[in-house]
């Protein structure tokens, strides 16, 4: 039995600006999404599934012929379920679900998730919140929030295939991420240490930071 990865890339990413969705904008010499796919290929994932908007199917040649393309749904949760339904449970036991605009996950992070799945039905990376937290309204600070036991969630989020497929089939949809779907089904989700470089490109300024991380990784390779 092996692991599959689902890479979600059907969104439009409008906050990042540019003439094309953020996952198709260039980072170094190739699109952001191509970096993400290549990372999982290097980690040894034989089954790589990418959810795409119908308008983007013609862009996918750069991802490689081994990638399975799945048409995304009306929201992220529907896109993930579409992809989950294509996986053969006879050959795949665990599935990693990842944001296409996070191109810098590491082998160490993958190993931590795989280790956590030995004892839990689900696992996800996160970083503890270290900044002070405020509540605000109308541009003014209205209170403070205790940051104890608060985390910044990342992907990939990892699951036993049967459990997360059942959870998605039962969920009404439109969840923020797959941990939300898993917890709605009563699944325990183990937290593993995330990585500060495992950033999600969201805003125009994020591309500058991503270029710096890419350059650092290339120097270390």
Give per-residue pLDDT as tens, 38-68. 999 999 998 999 999 999 999 999 999 999 9
User: What pLDDT, in 10s, does the model give residues 121-136?
Assistant: 999 999 999 999 999 9
- Asked if residue 16 has pLDDT above 90, the reply is no
In sequence order, the 6+-apart residues with CB closer than 8 A to the CB of 125 are: 109, 112, 113, 153, 154, 155, 156, 157, 191, 192, 193, 194, 195, 198
Q: How far is CA 187 from the centre of its chain?
A: 19
CATH code of the domain covering residue 97: 3.90.550.10
Residue 33 vs residues 10, 23, 127: alpha-carbon distances, Å: 11, 5, 23
Residues 156-206: tens digit of each pLDDT: 999 999 999 999 999 998 899 999 999 999 999 999 999 999 999 999 999
Per-residue model confidence (pLDDT) at position 220: 87
Asked whether 25 and 207 are in contact (CB, 8 A), the reply is yes
- Containing domain of residue 38, as a range? 2-220
pLDDT at 109 over 90: yes
pLDDT at residue 18 in the model:
80
Distances (CA, A) of 26 to 9, 40, 57, 91, 125: 15, 19, 17, 34, 26
Question: What average pLDDT does the structure give for the chain?
Answer: 96
Cβ-Cβ contacts under 8 Å for 32 (sequence gap 6 or more): 22, 23, 24, 25, 26, 100, 101, 103, 201, 210
pLDDT value, residue 142: 98
The answer to whether 123 and 157 are in contact (CB under 8 A) is yes
Q: How many Cβ atoms are within 10 Å of 21's Cβ, its own excluded?
A: 24
Residue 14 has pLDDT above 80, yes or no: no
pLDDT band at 93 (very low <50, low <70, confident <90, very high): very high
Beta carbons of 51 and 68 less than 8 angstroms apart? no
Model confidence, pTM: 0.96
State yes or no: pLDDT of 140 exceeds 90. Answer: yes
**Dihedrals φ, ψ of 74, to 5°?**
-75, -15
Cβ pair 73, 79 in contact under 8 A? yes
**Number of structural domains, the chain?**
1
64 CB neighbour count, 10 Å cutoff:
13
């Amino acid at each position: 039995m092996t692991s599959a990865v689902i890479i979600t890339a059907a969104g439009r990413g409008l906050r990042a600006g540019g003439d094309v969705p953020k996952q198709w904008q260039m980072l170094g010499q190739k699109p952001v999404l191509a970096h993400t796919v290549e990372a999982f290929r290097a980690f040894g994932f034989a089954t790589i599934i990418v959810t795409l908007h119908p308008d983007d199917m013609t862009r996918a040649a750069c991802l490689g012929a081994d990638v399975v393309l799945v048409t995304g749904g009306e929201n992220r949760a529907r896109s993930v379920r579409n992809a989950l339904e294509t996986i053969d449970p006879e050959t795949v036991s665990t599935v990693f679900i990842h944001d296409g605009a996070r191109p810098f996950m590491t082998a160490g992070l993958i190993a931590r998730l795989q280790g956590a799945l030995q004892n839990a039905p689900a696992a996800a990376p996160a970083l503890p919140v270290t900044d002070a937290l405020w509540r605000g309204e109308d541009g003014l600070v209205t209170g403070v929030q205790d940051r104890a036991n608060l985390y910044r969630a990342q992907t990939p989020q990892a699951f036993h295939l049967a459990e997360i497929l059942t959870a998605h089939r039962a969920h009404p949809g439109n969840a923020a991420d797959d941990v939300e779907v898993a917890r709605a089904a009563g699944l325990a989700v183990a937290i593993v240490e995330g990585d500060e470089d495992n950033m999600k490109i969201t805003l125009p300024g994020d591309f500058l930071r991503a270029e710096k991380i890419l350059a650092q990784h290339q120097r270390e390779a």
